[in-house]
Amino acid sequence: MVSRTQDTVSSIYEEVDKLGYKVIHSNERRLRIYLPRLAVDTEYAKTLKQVMESFDFVTDVRINPAAKSIAIEHDNQGVSSTLIQEKILSYIEQVSIAETLQNQNFDFLLDAQTDIAFIKTVSFVAYEVVHKNERRIRVLIPRLGDDVEYARKLKYLVESINEVVDVRINARVSCIVVEFDYELDKQEVIQAQEQVFAAIEEAPNIQVDEFAIQKAASKLENNHDIDYVQRLGPSVVSLVLSFGALIGLPFPGVLVAGSIFFAAIPVFQRTWEYIQEEKQLNIDFLDSLTISLHTAIGNYFAPAFMLGLIEGSEIIRDMTARSTERTSLDLLDCLGKYAFVERDGQEVKIAVRDVVEGDRVIVYPGDQIPVDGHILRGTGLIDQCKLTGESVPVTRSEGEEVFASTLLVNGSLCILVERTGNNTRAGVIVALMQSAPVHDTRVENYAAIIANQAVVPTLVVGTTVGLLTGDLNRAIALLTLDIGTGIRVSVPTTILSALTYAARNGVFIRSGRAIEILSRVDTIVFDKTGTLTQGHARITTIKLTEAGVSERQVLALAATAEQGLTHPVAEAIVRHAKDEGVELDECTDWDYHVGLGVFAVINSQQILVGSHRLMAQENVSLDYLNEYYPNLKSGSNSLVYVAANGKLLGVILYSDPPRQESKDVIQEIKQQGISPYMLSGDVTRVARAIAEELGIDDEKVYAEAFPERKVEVVRALHDTGKVVAFCGDGINDSAALAYADVSISFAGATDIARETADIVLMEDDLRGLTHAIKIARHAMDIIWQNAFIVGIPNISAAISGVLFALDPVLAIIINNGSAILAEINGLRPLLGPGDVTPLSSSLDITELLKEEKLHTHKSGSDQQNEITNLFNGRVAETTQAS
């Protein structure tokens, strides 16, 4: 099935072929068309050029009659390049037909400007069904390839169809795959497919709340591979021709020079663009001048070799930049698609996006709360860990406030809706993420910083020497001695090597920028729950208050009463009992009261297990406990009381203890000159007790911190001139992660924390952080070493060239020799910084490559792809294990 075939790209191309022309090259801003008629019909060519230039979205039109081609550059004006190019092809088709019929009426073009403006609000979408069966459909939509906003809207619309159970968009191949409910009959599937087609056509034209779009955002695989043939081909050709001429092969000089100038076009373009934008000269200008002068005097090999190094370094740097392009993840998947609301006295199921302020939402155990509001009736145990970082669920009852994205563990609630979508506390996190500062994804170009400062002095010296000596070769030799080429090659090599070594040792670093910033970090802000602590309750001790009762008896009664609950503390008690080999009995009667505890009958005893409020309600005296254990409520422990037949038997203490390695990590980063801070949504008493145990100063502890507060702390530290890293693992940490100079999370963290983080610790071990810091500092040390390796020989040779004659060949050897040496030195991060002990279960890429029959001698891009794939696999394993 094909919809709107007259508007699809494929049909337009077919019409183009019938008219004798075709598209031979296109990218997001340029379209090149082979059109034989241009070589023989000058009037037609003139008319076509005038028509194309009349459109304000066309920035340049060039016709080459000899090559029988027309090149059109265009400004997308906020519209996808696919749509713009469809229109350009359509107009060329109409002009060609009109000329063929000798019809000079081009009135249809008068609306072209309006037409393009109209596309921005209403547009037809070309699409084609490439595969379908009774339960699945795959649709090719060219627009998905370069219109991320359309892809997000489309996913949101298709996911909203009740019969759809799964939606996957692959922007790289411009496809959407939709799976339908297996319980549908054939007619229902057909109807659902029609809804999908309608969504494809309507997506560009609808206005949707940005929060709703964010909620439907997915990982759009929109990575564009590097075209090695296009990038390196001209340089390789020029190098082969120039080397052939050097050894005496009869290559015409014009051919060799032409190949060099063609390969140098990117350098010339960068030079011109930089001069236009910055109004000053840079290293590219020096490269352009050196290439031109060498070629002009017939010294072809030197500029060809230089071009190979330059383009190779650009490719390596681009591979570094593209190692892990950020993709949007759904911050609020946990809200679900539907909600139960009371309407006209009836409980109805509606889409979350249709819930409005003033509605009454009903939430049942196990459901995520989809709105912010106050409880009208009911009492519930709510897990707020994802939003606030609190390690233990809290009890909320009538009149108290609850928030979207939190989980109702027990009880049922009727909530008066006060905020939805963007306005919820969870929505604020989305807004903070969107307004977070954007950082460059490539390492700072130290080559440009150093080399650009040397351009003018080098020109002055070279020109002066040439004028004084009258020796052009001597002047060119001085221009050849630039320090930028060597550093520009070695910097990305060093970074890529560091990324590879880090991945082999259990640390996934997303970009060169992360390495650069991490090497300068002087402040690390840690989230408490799940980052510095283990993230789950653990029984620490049991205190007895009744003679003749043992700890095992108290533990057995508590575990028996709580074994049917899903509360984290109940699970911890049951788990502890099993670990201690305690056998559980059976309850002959059982009742659970949310926020209080459990009433049970075990072996004919009336058992109470729960909070101090439960004891007070049932008149169980706590006097003995308060007299003999007055300090139980201090520190990081919380209490569960156990009573039998109205008497307190004992109390079980539990806490979320620090990770085993946390204290050592805090001490080590202090030794590295880094100040540790701690943020937590937990109560002040618990937060400070954990901080004291780990060695974090009280003034550097911020408790009861919501996401907005975490962002404020990170901003405040940054504003004082500190380079701030943030380490966290939850949704509530994602905004702070985005605002930090560099962010760290775990592979087993929430999706948004993991995707927001610049650095992901593959093992659930905080020591990976100190490893990453050492790796980053080692890499940056090597970068500065390379600056000296390249700089000292070139500067020394330049001084010699001023005082004495310097042969151009010797200058090339010095310049390129130091560049190669720096390149080799840039591989040293693969050996590690020397003082990093790999984690016992760290990610060994070499072994994994062997297992998968992969090869470590592949190109940098292949290696980086393997690292990325291994990372994604390890994340899946870690998540499944969790």
> What pLDDT was estimated at residue 458?
77
d(CA 602, CA 650): 16
Could you please report the per-residue DSSP string of 16-69? Answer: HHHTT-EEEEE-SSEEEEE-GGGGT-HHHHHHHHHHHHTSTTEEEEEEETTTTE
pLDDT at residue 275, rounded to an integer: 84
Longest Cα separation, the chain: 112
User: Distance (Å, rounded) from C-alpha 506 to C-alpha 757?
Assistant: 15
Query: How many Cβ atoms from other residues are within 10 Å of residue 330's Cβ?
Result: 18
Report d(CA 845, CA 205) in Å as an integer: 47
Question: What residues in the chain have per-residue pLDDT under 50?
Answer: 1-18, 100-123, 211-224, 320-334, 432-444, 838, 840-868, 870-871, 874-875, 878-882
Q: Which residues are within 8 A (CB) of 118 and not within 5 positions of it... i.e. 6 or more apart? A: none
Burial class (CB within 10 angstroms; exposed 0-12, middle 13-18, buried 19+) of 337: middle
Angle (CA) 250 251 256, round 5°: 155
In sequence order, which residues have a C-beta less than 8 Å from that of residue 382 and are 6 or more positions away? 369, 393, 394, 395, 396, 402, 406, 407, 408, 409
CA distances, 416 to each of 372, 398, 559 (Å) = 8, 11, 36
In the sheet with 127-132, reading across from the earlier edge strand, the strands are 2-3, 127-132, 136-140, 175-180, 164-170
Residues 263-280: tens digit of each pLDDT: 999 888 888 887 887 777
| Chain CA centroid to CA 568, Å | 31
> For strand 69-74 and strand 58-64, is the pairing parallel, antiparallel, or unpaired?
antiparallel
pLDDT of residue 63: 86
Q: What six digits make up the tokens of 10?
A: 């494929």
Q: Of 446, 433, 443, give the one whose Cα is nearest residue 509.
A: 443
**Among positive and negative, which fits the CA dihedral 546, 551, 552, 557?**
positive
pLDDT of the residue at 293: 85
Q: Are 62 and 70 in contact (CB under 8 A)?
A: yes
Instruction: Map tokens 């037809």 to a residue.
Output: 124
- Secondary structure element (H or E) that encloses residue 504, with its range: helix 484-504
d(CA 530, CA 260): 58
Return the CA Rg of the chain. Answer: 34
Helix (H, G, I), strand (E, B) or coil at 599: strand
d(CA 516, CA 499): 12
Q: Is the dihedral of CA 514, 519, 523, 524 positive or negative?
A: positive
Model pLDDT, residue 581: 93
Where helices occur in 143-280 by DSSP H, the ranges are 148-159, 186-202, 210-216, 228-246, 253-263, 265-278
Nearest to 527 by CA among 371, 837, 749: 749
Cα distance between residue 133 and residue 279, in whole Å: 60
User: Is 2-119 a CATH 3.40.600.10 domain?
Assistant: no
3-class SS shares of the chain: helix, strand, coil, % to 5: 50, 20, 30
Pairing of strands 394-396, 380-383: antiparallel
Beta bridge partners of 678: 526, 701
Query: CATH for 538-655?
Result: 3.40.1110.10
Residue 776, class by beta-carbon neighbours within 10 Å (0-12 exposed, 13-18 middle, 19+ buried)?
Answer: buried
For residues 143 and 299, give the distance between their C-alpha atoms in angstroms, rounded to a whole number: 48
- CATH architecture of the domain 127-216 equals 2-Layer Sandwich (3.30)
Task: Report whether 368 contacts 339 (CB < 8 A).
Answer: no
**278: number of Cβ within 10 Å:** 10
* The two structure tokens encoding residue 327: 């993709």
Nearest to 242 by CA among 251, 229, 234, 233: 251
CB atoms inside a 10 Å sphere around CB 366: 10
- List the domain boundaries for the chain: 2-119, 127-216, 336-434, 436-521+741-882, 538-655
- Is the CATH number 2.170.150.20 carried by domain 336-434? no
Query: Which residues contact residue 547 at a Cβ distance below 8 angstroms, ignoring those fewer than 6 apart?
Result: none
- pLDDT, one tens digit per residue, over 332-346 is 444 556 788 998 878
Q: Which 8-state DSSP code applies to residue 142? A: G
The residues, any chain, with a CB within 8 Å of residue 409's CB and separated by 6 or more, are 365, 366, 380, 381, 382, 383, 393, 566, 567
This prediction has a pTM of 0.53
Tokens of 248: 């005496």
Q: What is the distance between the alpha carbons of residues 844 and 861, in angstroms, rounded to a whole number?
A: 19
Whether 771 contacts 518, CB under 8 Å: no
